[in-house]
Amino acid sequence: MKTRAEEFAGLTVAMITPFKNGEVDFDALQEQVEFQIAAGTTAIAPTGTTGESPTLTHQEQRDVIAATVKFAAGRIKVMAGTGSNCTVEALELTRFAEDAGADAALVVGPYYNKPMQEGMYLHFKAVAESVGLPICIYNIPGRTGKAIDTETIIRLAEIKNVAMVKEATGSMDSASKIAAATDLTILSGDDSLTLPFMSVGARGVVSVVGNFAPKDVSALCAAVDSGNLEEARRWHQKLFPLCRDMLSLATNPIPVKAAMKMLGRDSGEMRLPMTPLDAASEAALRKTLVEYGVLSAD
């Protein structure tokens, strides 16, 4: 079945935000965008979880979104992270992203204040109806403290420009119910679950690993699309150690920032309260990258 936002099928990379001496490094950000364009990535998602949006000021979020759109220059889709636990702030940032030229908005469920499901519905409805952008509902209860119920997502699908859902619940049942009841484009929110989610109707992934291995993640998605499950399983098994380390060694984006530093593609700098990997975890990550073949053992 054709889904509502097929143009976002495949790989969307949850972009890191590079820092240098405590400030956003826009030169490095441009390099990251060019890297993804060269890799043939479908879309990039700045200012999300991996982009450390909780530690960016509101102005920095706007600046990163605007710069990413400028650097992309229409050569790759931009799905800007615009969520907030304050509906007014989410509205304002989503409108800004639309005015800046983003192609879609990734809107996380309201966090900390734990609204009831009616509040979830009205929050997303208000944001969606304020813009013409396709909206991707970002369901990640492990971060927000409360899930957006499947029934609420199905209800939100009645709104025309609610087009996608990033399912980071880890629940195959949730993905299956949404796929059966709507034409929303489902994107896996966990790299290690891309293949299983696509097997029940998801159309791709919003990926952390894609920051440094985009071609491989895209190859997995393409193999599923072509019906070559043997090839898809091969890519899944190859990618799994990277997917595991990005989530198990420390809180995202700590491991991916460390990996990018090891690969010479980022300073590795983060903002408090995020802290670098400890020595043991760094050694484990280095071993994984060497075994994967993206880092020299020297």
Active-site residue numbers?
138, 166
Q: Are 182 and 193 in contact (CB under 8 A)?
A: no
The DSSP annotation for 170-181 comes to --HHHHHHHHHH
Output the six-digit token pair for 212.
Answer: 């440094």
Q: Are 206 and 106 in contact (CB under 8 A)?
A: yes
Residue among 265, 293, 191, 269 nearest 33 (CA) = 265
Cα(204)–Cα(65) distance, integer angstroms: 22
Residue among 133, 21, 28, 18 nearest 71 (CA) = 28
Residue among 216, 223, 168 nearest 190 (CA) = 168
Residue among 84, 101, 183 nearest 138 (CA) = 84
Distances (CA, A) of 268 to 37, 54, 162, 261: 22, 17, 35, 5
